[in-house]
Amino acid sequence: MLAVVLAFLALIALRSSWRSALVFVWLFNLEGTADLINAFALGIGFNIAGHYHLGLAWLIPTHFVPAALVIHFVIFVLLLRRNGRSGMKHVERKLAMRVLGAAGEALDGAVVAGRSM
């Protein structure tokens, strides 16, 4: 849930051109990546797939988690590509906002799907 809050905060910061916008993007990306890796490791460690019938929830670890990790990787690439420039290029900023928006919508959808189960 913290990743969702940080994603929306980063989106607002980027949209409003706050000076601290990149800090929020870094926080979102680090926390979101760590959370996904931790959840994936715990799922494997507890053998969730072997002990429980997941039904449609099987799509989360097999499709959503890899897609979310790719999104985080793209954001890391965008952040690291800055190479000390004073600010993000306009195109990079638009792409980052699109990626963060997609991540926020996907996370929000997953949270809603998780509540309905």
Is pLDDT at 84 greater than 70 in this prediction?
A: no
Q: What is the pLDDT of residue 117?
A: 42
- Residue 111 · residue 4 · CB < 8 Å: yes
Q: What is the pLDDT of residue 95?
A: 65
Q: Average the pLDDT over each of 25-34, 35-44, 72-81, 89-98 and give the range with the smallest value.
A: 89-98
- Residue 40 · residue 61 · CB < 8 Å: yes
- Residue 10 · residue 28 · CB < 8 Å: yes
Arithmetic mean of pLDDT over the chain:
79
Q: What is the pLDDT of residue 108?
A: 53
Hey, what amino acid is at 65? V
Per-residue CA distances from 44 to 30, 39, 50, 94 (Å): 21, 9, 9, 36
Average pLDDT over residues 24-46: 91
Q: What is the pLDDT of residue 99?
A: 67
Q: What is the pLDDT of residue 85?
A: 55
Q: What is the pLDDT of residue 12?
A: 94
Q: What is the pLDDT of residue 24?
A: 93
- C-alpha torsion 66→69→75→77, nearest 10: -90
Q: Please report the sign of the dihedral spanned by the C-alpha atoms of residue 19, residue 109, residue 64, residue 51.
A: positive
Q: What is the DSSP letter of 47?
A: T
For residue 88, how many other CB atoms are within 10 A of its CB?
A: 20
Q: Average the pLDDT over each of 5-14, 71-80, 89-98 and give the range with the smallest value.
A: 89-98
